[in-house]
Amino acid sequence: MTQTPQETLANLLSEERTFPPSPEFSSSANVTETAYEEASADRLAFWDTQARRLDWTKDWDQVLDWSNPPFAKWFTGGELNVAVNCLDRHVEAGLGDRVAIHFEGEPGDSRAITYAEMLDEVKRAANALTDLGVEAGDRIVIYMPMIPEAAVAMLACARIGAPHSVVFGGFSVDALSSRIDDVGAKLIITADGGYRKGKASALKATVDEAADRCPAVEQVLVVRRTGQDIEWHERDLWWHEVVAKASNEHTARSFDAEHPLFVLYTSGTTGRPKGILHTTGGYLTQTSYTHQAVFDLKPETDVYWCTADIGWITGHSYIVYGPMANGATQVMYEGTPDTPHKGRLWELVQKYGVTILYTAPTAIRTFMKWGEDLPARYDLSSLRVLGSVGEPINPEAWMWYREHIGGDRCPVVDTWWQTETGAIMVSPLPGVTATKPGSAQRALPGITVDVVDDDAASVPNGGGGFLTIRDPWPSMLRTVWGDDERFLETYWSQYKGMYFAGDGAKRDDDGDIWLLGRVDDVMLVSGHNISTTEVESALVSHDTIAEAAVVGATDPLTGQGIVAFVILRGASESSPEHLAELRSHVAKTLGPIAKPRQVMVVSELPKTRSGKIMRRLLRDIAEDRKLGDVTTLQDSSVMVRIKEGLQSGSGD
Ligand code: PRX
Alpha carbon nearest to ligand 1 atom 7, residue: 418
Cα gap 528→353, rounded to integer Å:
48
- The CA distance from 638 to 460, in Å, is 42
Question: Ligand 1 mean position to 612 CA, how many Å?
Answer: 9
DSSP result, 158-198? HHHT--EEE--TT--HHHHHHHHHHHT-SEEEEESEEEETT
Mutate to test the pocket of ligand 1, among 310, 412, 503 (most ligand atoms within 8 A of CB): 503
Q: What CA–CA distance (Å, rounded) separates 455 from 486?
A: 22
Ordered DSSP codes for 480-500: ETT-HHHHHHHHSSSSTTSEE
pLDDT digits (tens, 9 = 90+) for 442-482: 999 999 999 998 889 999 999 989 999 999 999 999 999 99
Integer angstrom CA distances of residue 317 from 66, 69, 443, 570: 24, 25, 18, 36
**Distance (Å, rounded) from C-alpha 450 to C-alpha 482?**
29
pLDDT score for 555: 82
Q: What is the pLDDT of residues 280-326, one digit of tens each?
A: 999 999 999 999 999 999 999 999 999 999 999 999 999 999 999 99
Taking residues 146-150, what's their average pLDDT?
98
Ligand 1 within 6 A of CB of 391: yes
The per-residue pLDDT for range 553-566, each reduced to its tens digit, is: 888 877 788 999 99
User: Confidence band (pLDDT; 50, 70, 90) for 642?
Assistant: confident
CA distances from 588 to 13, 229, 585, 591, 593 (A): 11, 58, 5, 6, 10
Residue 155: how many CB atoms within 10 A of its CB?
A: 25
Q: Does residue 414's CB lie within 6 angstroms of at least one atom of ligand 1? A: yes
235 or 267, greater pLDDT:
235
58 secondary structure, DSSP code = B
Non-local CB neighbours of 234 within 8 Å, separated by 6+ positions: none
Query: Ligand 1 centre and the CA of 390: distance in Å?
Result: 4
Three-class SS of 575-586: CHHHHHHHHHHH
**Which one, of 337, 347, 283, 280, lies nearest residue 308 by Cα?**
337
Question: Band of the pLDDT at 259, cuts 50, 70, 90?
Answer: very high
Is the four-CA dihedral 448, 454, 455, 458 of positive or negative sign? negative
Which protein residue has the closest C-alpha to ligand 1 atom 12?
A: 390
Residue 9 has pLDDT above 50, yes or no: no
Q: How many residues does the chain have?
A: 652
DSSP class of residue 277 equals E
pLDDT confidence of residue 52: 98
Residue 366: which region, alpha, beta or left (left: phi > 0; alpha: psi -120 to 50)? alpha
Residues 484-542 have pLDDT tens digits of: 999 999 999 999 999 999 999 999 999 999 998 877 777 777 767 678 888 998 999 99
Local confidence band at 631 (pLDDT 50, 70, 90 cut-offs): low
Nearest to 614 by CA among 598, 597, 636, 596: 636
Alpha helices in 229-299 (DSSP H): 239-245, 281-294
The model's pTM is: 0.87
Instruction: Identify which of 218, 223, 355, 238 has the alpha carbon closest to the alpha carbon of residue 296.
Output: 355
Alpha helix (H) ranges present in 388-505? 395-400, 484-491
Query: What is the spatial order of strands in the sheet that 499-507 belongs to?
Result: 449-452, 464-469, 499-507, 513-518
Mean pLDDT lowest among 77-81, 203-207, 531-535, 576-580: 531-535
Span from the CA of 249 to the centroid of ligand 1 (angstroms): 40
Rounded-to-integer distance, Cα 168 and Cα 275, Å: 14
Whole-number pLDDT of residue 269? 45
**Is the CB of 515 within 6 Å of ligand 1?**
yes
More confident residue, 271 or 343: 343
- For residue 312, which atom of ligand 1 is closest to its CA? 10
User: Stretch 357-376: mean pLDDT, rounded?
Assistant: 94
Distance 166 CA to ligand 1 centre (A): 19
Q: How far apart, in whole angstroms, are the C-alpha atoms of residue 167 and residue 266?
A: 10
Torsion sign across C-alpha atoms 315, 320, 326, 332:
positive
Substitution site in 389, 427, 449 for ligand 1 pocket (most atoms within 8 Å of beta carbon): 389
pLDDT mean over 18-42: 97
Over residues 52-63, mean pLDDT: 98
Q: Return the residue whose CA atom lies nearest to atom 2 of ligand 1.
A: 391
Domains (ranges, CATH) in the chain? 23-505 (3.40.50.12780), 526-645 (3.30.300.30)
The neighbouring-strand residues paired with 434 are none
Q: How confident is the model at residue 74 (pLDDT cuts 50, 70, 90)?
A: very high
Residue from 418, 421, 610, 613 to probe ligand 1 pocket by mutation (most atoms less than 8 Å from CB): 418
CA of 361 to the centre of ligand 1 (A): 11
User: Exposure of 347 by Cβ count < 10 A (0-12 exposed, 13-18 middle, 19+ buried)?
Assistant: middle
Residues 505, 466 contacting (CB under 8 angstroms): yes
With contact defined as beta carbons under 8 Å apart, do 415 and 294 qualify? yes
Asked whether 424 lines ligand 1 (CB < 6 A), one says no
Tell me how far CA of residue 35 lies from CA of 27, 384, 414, 429, in angstroms: 15, 22, 19, 10
Give me the phi and psi of 514, to 5 degrees please: -120, 125
- The percent of residues in the chain predicted with pLDDT above 70, rounded, is 94
649, pLDDT greater than 70: no
Does the beta carbon of 362 sit less than 6 angstroms from any atom of ligand 1?
no
Does the C-beta of 165 come closer than 6 Å to ligand 1?
no
Q: Is 67 exposed, middle or buried (0-12, 13-18, 19+ CB in 10 A)?
A: exposed
Write the pLDDT tens digit of every residue in 395-419.
999 999 999 999 999 999 999 999 9
Beta strands of 394-512 (E only): which ranges?
A: 412-414, 449-452, 464-469, 479-480, 499-507
Which distant-in-sequence residues (6+ apart) come within 8 Å of 440 by Cβ? 414, 415, 416, 426, 427, 428, 513, 514, 515
Ligand 1 pocket check for 417: Cβ under 6 Å: yes
The sign of the torsion formed by the CA atoms of 169, 159, 178, 240 equals negative
Residue 438: which of 358, 346, 348, 534 has the closest Cα?
534
Count CB neighbours of 362 within 10 A: 18
- Greater confidence (263 vs 633) lies with 263
Residue ID of nearest Cα to ligand 1 atom 21: 391
Could you tell me the pLDDT band of residue 10, with boundaries at 50, 70 and 90?
very low
Q: How far is the CA of 389 from the centre of ligand 1 (A)?
A: 6
Q: 175 - beta bridge partners?
A: none
The overall average pLDDT reported for the chain is 92
Q: Computed from CA positions of residues 401, 405, 410, 414, in that sequence, does the dihedral angle turn out positive or negative?
A: negative
Please tell me if the CB atom of residue 474 comes closer than 6 angstroms to any atom of ligand 1: no
Q: Which of 398, 354, 397, 428 is nearest to 546 (CA)?
A: 397
Contact between residue 426 and residue 445 where contact means Cβ atoms under 8 Å apart: no
DSSP code per residue over 222-248 = EE-SS-------TTEEEHHHHHHHS-S
Q: Whose CA is nearest to atom 5 of ligand 1?
A: 418
Helix (H) or strand (E) holding 201: strand 199-202
Residue nearest atom 18 of ligand 1, based on CA coordinates: 390
Looking at ligand 1, which residue's alpha carbon is closest to its atom 15?
418
For residue 427, the ligand 1 atom closest to its alpha carbon is: 26
pLDDT at residue 4 above 50? no
Q: What is the DSSP letter of 87?
A: I
User: Ligand 1 pocket, 438 CB below 6 A?
Assistant: no
* CA 449 and chain centroid, separation: 19
Q: Does the C-beta of 104 come closer than 6 Å to ligand 1? A: no
Mean pLDDT of 569-587: 91
Q: Cβ neighbours of residue 565 under 8 Å, at least 6 residues apart?
A: 548, 549, 550, 551, 600, 602, 605, 618, 621, 642
pLDDT at residue number 532? 87
Going by alpha carbons, the residue nearest to atom 6 of ligand 1 is: 418
**N- to C-terminal Cα separation, the chain:** 25
Identity of the residue numbered 66: W
pLDDT at 253 over 60: yes
Tell me the pLDDT tens digit for each residue of 586-618.
988 888 888 999 999 998 898 877 777 888 889
Q: Whose CA is nearest to atom 11 of ligand 1?
A: 418
Query: Which ligand 1 atom is at minimum distance from the Cα of 515?
Result: 23
Q: Ligand 1 centre from 3 Cα, in Å?
A: 29
pLDDT at 547 over 50: yes
Pocket of ligand 1 contains residue 547 by CB under 6 Å: no
**Atom number of ligand 1 nearest to Cα 501:** 16
